Every structure is written in structure tokens, then in C-alpha cells.
Chain A
């Protein structure tokens, strides 16, 4: 069966009122996942990590993203670079553990050495014992394979195919929507502000569940008592992002009602509201007047997904030890919310083994954000 039959995909890209969801195979078939590696993760701007993962010059971090071995590097000038994690000689993976390379990245096989900017520094014994030069080895042609990279709000995005529009063009509607926060420093809360989930589900179900607020009163009753369903609104930007917003955000996280410091000078909208957007393909973002979180969706396989959550604050003082209890409470609050979603995203994956399931039916009122994502996925295979 051709899973990318235009007739099937047209049913997905139809208006929300009549559309069907993506077919089961988009969740259960390893061949579809293999196609997504090229059509979705390589051709678009995918998030693979964070600037904070490599804070110091020489820091490296190997990352396997959608099956591709990548290497995150902080070069000697402090610039963040991403390379394919492979030696140009015999295709050996260069690094398997995070660490600091100080001056060069040395292949563990034959010790070809690369500068942190990716250029090939030396090729020991390549011309015979004690001869590091050879007329057939042109170092200038054999640097590490650089991957197009852009850092936004500490997220490291890559465009592996190299031919997507510039990141700031591709993400322009979200950058504009959240202009109040653009260019501001963000301060990660440290070890107590990270958490993760390893899920038996397809990556798209994590995105889809995040996009809509329809499930809040059923899956997150605690959250709903504070921020009710009727306080939420859909966010739909076809081709770029979708999600939900709330008109009610008023956290009190300290024992005596203390709050985190807010971003200075943000508009009135953010004093009482917050927004949650899925920037396609694979980051789930939450923006608030006092903190920002990212859930990086790591598509490990067609039926396994790792969610990596990182929480940032508006003011450096919020990262001090004195604020640890409040940060931990905030992390735990979000962890509880995300944990409540686990049975849903894993349950929908199991449900997609039902041969009669036809992709499902969207609520035009409540599922527009989810349909927006389905529409985007389907169009990646029809363009």
C-alpha cells in the first residue's frame, strides 16, 4: 500500500470540518518513519539540543537525531556549530560521549584530527609511517560535514538538507507573535529545571496532544481548576506552528506567595496570560511572563519518543540556590502535567493498531490546532 497516496493525503489536508487524521501507518510503520527522516526532520528546522548543553569552548556533545549521528560543538571562539558526527576518512563516529576537546576532535580510529571549526588539522601516517601528507589527500576538501544551524532562545535548530528557508523566515510568525520575548537573555534553572520522559509512542502524538486544550478537564483536572477550558483559545498558523493560549496565568509558587521575577517591559497580554505552541516539527514551547519551557521531542523510532524538558527563567537571580525550592516546585508542577499525558500519548499509539481506525474525526471547535499539524505533516509528502 502506498501510504503517501495523494488521495489519502488530500483527506488529511481537507478543511478541518471534513478532514480525516493521518492514517495508522504514519504512527506504526517504520517505513513511514524512515521517510519522515528525510521529508520532515532533514528538510525543516529540527531542534536537536540546547546551547546550554555545550557551555564552554571545546565542549562537544554527540546527538543521535532521528537516526542521524550529529555532533554539537562549542568552538574556540564561542560559536556553536553542528557537524555530522563522522570522520571523513573511514566513516567512524567521532565521539560517543559528551566532553571537552580543548583543541581538536580526534578520530579514535586512525587519529585524523579536526579543528573545532571543522577543518582537517592533520592526517597522521596517511602517506606511510611518519608521513602525514599525501598528494591525494587534500585537507581543504575533507573538513567535517557542517550542518546548517541556527540558535533561537537557546534551542539549537538544524536543517540537515541545507535548503530550507532561513530559520528566522521559516519561524517568522512565531517570532513575531512572541516579539516581547525576542532577544532577551534566558537563564536555565540548572539541574532542578530539567526533566524527561521516555515514551512508547510515535513522536507526532506528543505534538498533537500538546496542541489542544480539549483534553484539559479530563486529563488535567488540577490544571483545569486553575485555568479553565473556557479560558483557553486555539492558536493556528498553518505551515509553521499551532497550539493553545490561556487568559489565566497567575502562579504562586513560594510558601508565602512569592513569585518568580518577570521579564521587564512585556505587554499587558502577558501579565495574565500564557501561550503553548508546537513549532513544527519537534519543539513544544511554553511562554509565560516569568519563565519559558521547551519540550524537545526526540523521535527515536516509529514507536519510541523521548521528551526532554528544559525550563528557563527571566532573571538571573532566579537561578540562585535561594530560589531552588520554588524552581523545584515549578518543575514538579510541569512534570506532573506532562506525566498526566503519558497514558494518552501511549494509549493513542496502541489504538493505532486497530485496523479499522481511519485517522479519526476532528472537532472543528476544539481540534483546529491538531488538524493544523496533521495538515502540515501531510503536505511534507505532497510538496
Chain B
């Protein structure tokens, strides 16, 4: 899914209140930005992914985003 497709899917997941999907979609958006070398945007998306993964109790996904954020000095 490209970034435009991700944006539409994220908005739909917000509208549906689907936190598990939001964790996955924000994580995917973060990974795309990370691959492009845009660390600030990647950390923004992974912050979103971290919160929704926690809220959905997807602790493995939450830990993955948390580890990435810590690596870039964005999380405790």
C-alpha cells in the first residue's frame, strides 16, 4: 500500500475506532518514512503506532515501535 492508500486507510480506521488497524497502519507509514531516511516523520508515525498498539493490547507491536523510538532518542 502506498502512502496515499495508507492515509485513506488510517482515516477509515479512525472512523471505525479500530485501534489494532491503526497500530498496524501507522507502523507501516512509519516504516516507509524510515526507509526514505525521514527520521522525524518515521518517529511521528511510530509514536502513533505505539499508542494504538498499547491501547489494542498488541504488546509485541508496541514493543517494536517503542524500541525504534528509543533508538532515535524519542522515548524513555
Contact = CB atoms under 8 A, between A and B. Distances in A.
Interface of A: 58, 102-104, 106, 111, 113, 121-122, 124-125, 127, 129-133, 139
Given A129-B44, A130-B44, A113 B76 contact: no
Most central of A58, A103, A106, A139 by chain B CB within 10 Å = A103
B3 interface: no
Contacts of A131: 43, 47, 74
A133 B73 CA distance: 8
A58 B55 CA distance: 11
Given A122-B75, A139-B76, A132 B54 contact: no
B75 to A, nearest CB: 5
A131 B42 CA distance: 11
B7 interface: no
A58 B56 CA distance: 12
Chain B, interface size: which category? Answer: 20 to 34
A121 B54 contact: yes
A130 B43 contact: yes
B67 interface: no
A203 B42 CA distance: 56
A133 B56 contact: no
A124 B50 CA distance: 9
Nearest to A104: B54
B74 A103 contact: no
Chain B residues touching A, majority SS: helix
Interface string B47-71: 1101100111101001000100100
Contacts of B43: 129-131
B53 to A, nearest CB: 9
A132 B75 contact: yes
B40 interface: yes
Contacts of B55: 102-104, 106, 113
A89 to B, nearest CB: 14
Interface of B: 40-48, 50-51, 54-57, 59, 62, 66, 69, 73-76
Contacts of B40: 129-130
A97 to B, nearest CB: 13
B75 A125 contact: no
Contacts of A129: 40, 43-44
A130 B41 contact: yes
28 contacts: A102-B55, A102-B56, A103-B55, A106-B51, A106-B54, A106-B55, A111-B51, A113-B51, A113-B55, A121-B54, A122-B51, A122-B66, A122-B75, A124-B47, A124-B50, A124-B51, A125-B44, A127-B74, A130-B41, A130-B45, A130-B47, A130-B74, A131-B47, A131-B74, A132-B75, A133-B73, A133-B74, A139-B76
Contacts of B74: 127, 130-133
Given A130-B41, A130-B43, A133-B76, A122 B56 contact: no
Contacts of B66: 122
A121 B45 CA distance: 18
Contacts of A127: 74
Given A130-B40, A130-B41, A132-B75, A124 B57 contact: no
Nearest to A120: B76
Chain A CB within 10 A, most for which of B43, B51, B56, B74: B51
A165 B45 CA distance: 49
Nearest to B46: A130
A132 B47 contact: yes
B69 A132 contact: yes
Pick the 7 closest A-B CB pairs, nearest first. A130-B43, A102-B57, A130-B44, A103-B57, A104-B54, A132-B75, A106-B55
